[in-house]
């Protein structure tokens, strides 16, 4: 399932890319870029992936990832045995 909708515009070569937003009572998540999906849509993209998230409730934790073994999709961007985490900012 694609995280983007790609639509042609009246200008030759210009398309409109809309992100799919996944939302619930806690907040939302949307993917800004995904190289694989954009390449499949005919684009070349140097940024592998950027996500956008909002957590509405104070004290919620999300976005923590632990990678023990290097996977195929992380082989180009992240070394094995790395920890990736979100930055928490109090409001």
Instruction: Tell me the pLDDT tens digit for each residue of 31-68.
Output: 777 777 778 777 775 666 667 777 888 877 766 665 56
Query: Residue 27: pLDDT band by 50, 70, 90 thresholds?
Result: confident
- Confidence at residue 68, expressed as pLDDT on a 0 to 100 scale: 60
Q: Kindly state the average pLDDT of the residues 85-89.
A: 51
Q: What are phi and psi of 37, to 5 degrees?
A: -70, -35
Query: Per residue in 7-17, pLDDT tens?
Result: 888 988 788 88
Domain limits of the chain? 4-84
**Burial environment of residue 17 by CB neighbours within 10 A (0 to 12, 13 to 18, 19 or more):** middle
């Amino acid at each position: 399932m694609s995280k983007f909708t790609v639509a042609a515009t009246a200008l030759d070569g210009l398309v409109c890319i809309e992100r799919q937003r996944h939302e619930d009572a806690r907040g939302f998540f949307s993917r800004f870029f995904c190289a694989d999906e954009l390449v499949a849509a005919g684009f070349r993209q140097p940024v592998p992936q950027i996500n956008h998230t909002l957590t509405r409730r104070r004290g919620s934790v999300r976005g923590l990832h632990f990678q023990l073994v290097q996977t195929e999709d992380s082989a180009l961007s992240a070394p094995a045995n790395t920890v990736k985490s979100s930055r928490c900012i109090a409001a």
